[in-house]
Chains A and B, each alone.
Chain A
């Protein structure tokens, strides 16, 4: 028995359904009843219920790609700000992928405070201590590009269904776009104008995240700038 429509706006404590459903984020159960825990859009898919949040902080979870800023270094690694209640810890060996003799080698040559790093969340323990790693060649220290910060709950919209929005941004905007699940995005491109246009597009996505046909509007806006129009 379902009490709301698909994609209906729900508020905390609102009854969504009664019965055996699999619960995802943003919901909780009391007896047979399923309630929303946050303000968001209730999504019912198969036997699954979740609430897409409209607001909230980034909470690290294993496997996420995040963009961090180095805020401190310690004996064997660095502490990264993740735009979250929790900081991330990156060990040297998870950055350079070999055994590092800490007595002989000065690790400050790899990263310094203020550096921006693309990393993967390797593990999060029950006390929310976050371990990071660099396990792809394209991860690691960011050398250049523009860093944009948007609300973390809007990141799925930046990616789009099966990455369609991201593809539009990259292909039409002629930029490389790296998206961190924590709401940080790096835009890299040769043409300043296009980089700025993509940044504008990202801010537009954040503003208009819950409207339909957004990918088309973003495409239109970028195409106009490519063809020399716009401002």
Chain B
């Protein structure tokens, strides 16, 4: 695709959204039978699957922590998730995202309840359209709750950025590519605690504040969708 002349026309973005509008969001919990917990998230064209195993016995044993459980995260993109085939396997980018995802989720878990064990989180990106790390975090939080892992709260995440001089929410691939700034944010909604904040590009102080406010508001909406997904998953069970 060629770079369009303008990414925002008459206050509308390429896909017709307002600057502070999220892409359509769909969250489903408990989609995988063999995992202890799982979730599927669609955010616009993003399709992300998360699976949780554990707490279970930690192998290799020397990585066990005697007093707490270890959280292991793996973010991976399917070879067919992007336009040009992605070579499968961990690369510099996915290793980094795995690490920041783990650090975004770790603060809400009661790891001290399960000494010597491990909780594995696998995030598989099936289709990517910018903002997969935040979609992955949203999916992982729901999957962890679905697995029955005790948590202080869920974690909600969204990206904000600057495109054509306008602060926008939830960038698409085109906006990410030709925009000036991309900033993924993950928060613990109840305590308004930021657990992930990365930035690629530039913001002025005022722009940063505006972008962060936008992200916080969007996270509230995502948080509600996550809770709703969990309620729906278990309401069906109650009906028998």
Q: A and B: real partners?
A: yes
Please list the residues of chain A having a beta carbon within 8 angstroms of any beta carbon in chain B: 9, 11-14, 26, 28, 35, 37-39, 53-57, 59, 85-87, 126-128, 153, 207-211
Task: Name the 3 nearest CB pairs between A and B, nearest first.
Answer: A56-B148, A13-B153, A55-B148
**A9 near B231 (CB under 8 angstroms)?**
yes
Q: Give the residue name and chain of the A residue nearest to B118 (CB).
A: A85
**A12 near B147 (CB under 8 angstroms)?**
no
| B55: chain A residues within 8 A (beta carbon) | 57, 85
Q: Tell me the complex Cα distance, A40–B44, Å.
A: 30
**B146 near A55 (CB under 8 angstroms)?**
yes
| A87: chain B residues within 8 A (beta carbon) | 57
**A85 near B36 (CB under 8 angstroms)?**
no
- Taking the nearest CB of chain B, how far is it from the CB of A10, in angstroms? 9
- Taking the nearest CB of chain B, how far is it from the CB of A65, in angstroms? 22
- Taking the nearest CB of chain B, how far is it from the CB of A228, in angstroms? 27
Quick one: CB contact mask for B111-140 with A, threshold 8 Å, 1 for yes? 001111100000000000000000000000
**A38 near B115 (CB under 8 angstroms)?**
no
Question: Which of B37, B152, B231 interacts with A13 by CB under 8 Å?
Answer: B152
**A11 near B231 (CB under 8 angstroms)?**
yes
Question: Which of A39, A207, A210 interacts with B148 by CB under 8 Å?
Answer: A39
Given A13-B152, A38-B150, A39-B148; A57-B234 close (CB under 8 Å): no
Question: In chain B, residues 42-74, which have Cβ atoms closer than 8 Å to a Cβ of chain A?
Answer: 54-57, 66-67
Question: In chain B, residues 27-50, which have Cβ atoms closer than 8 Å to a Cβ of chain A?
Answer: 36-37
Given A55-B147, A57-B36; A28-B54 close (CB under 8 Å): no
| A38: chain B residues within 8 A (beta carbon) | 145, 148-151
- Taking the nearest CB of chain B, how far is it from the CB of A69, in angstroms? 14
Quick one: CB contact mask for B217-238 with A, threshold 8 Å, 1 for yes? 0000000000100110011011
Q: Is the interface on chain B under 10, 10 to 19, 20 to 34, or 35 or more residues? A: 35 or more
Q: Give the residue name and chain of the A residue nearest to B237 (CB).
A: A210
**A12 near B151 (CB under 8 angstroms)?**
yes
**B114 near A59 (CB under 8 angstroms)?**
yes
| A14: chain B residues within 8 A (beta carbon) | 227
Quick one: CB contact mask for B53-97 with A, threshold 8 Å, 1 for yes? 011110000000011000000000000000000000000000000
Q: Give the residue name and chain of the A residue nearest to B150 (CB).
A: A37
Counting CB contacts under 8 A, is B190 at the interface?
yes
Q: Tell me the complex Cα distance, A135–B204, Å.
A: 71
Known: A9-B234, A57-B36. 14 other contacts (CB 8 A): A13-B154, A26-B150, A38-B145, A39-B230, A39-B234, A55-B36, A55-B147, A85-B54, A86-B57, A127-B67, A128-B115, A210-B237, A211-B238, A211-B240
Q: Tell me the complex Cα distance, A28–B109, Å.
A: 12
Given A86-B57, A211-B240; A39-B150 close (CB under 8 Å): no
Q: Tell me the complex Cα distance, A211–B55, Å.
A: 28
**Residue contacts A-B, CB under 8 angstroms, 27 given:** A9-B238, A11-B230, A11-B231, A12-B108, A12-B151, A12-B152, A13-B108, A13-B151, A14-B227, A28-B110, A28-B152, A35-B152, A35-B153, A35-B190, A37-B150, A38-B149, A55-B36, A55-B37, A57-B54, A59-B113, A85-B55, A85-B56, A85-B116, A126-B67, A128-B116, A210-B240, A211-B239
Q: Tell me the complex Cα distance, A14–B149, Å.
A: 15
**A85 near B151 (CB under 8 angstroms)?**
no
| A86: chain B residues within 8 A (beta carbon) | 57, 116-117
| A12: chain B residues within 8 A (beta carbon) | 108, 145, 150-154
Q: Give the residue name and chain of the A residue nearest to B55 (CB).
A: A85
Q: Give the residue name and chain of the B residue nearest to A35 (CB).
A: B152
**A85 near B114 (CB under 8 angstroms)?**
yes
- Taking the nearest CB of chain B, how far is it from the CB of A30, in angstroms? 8
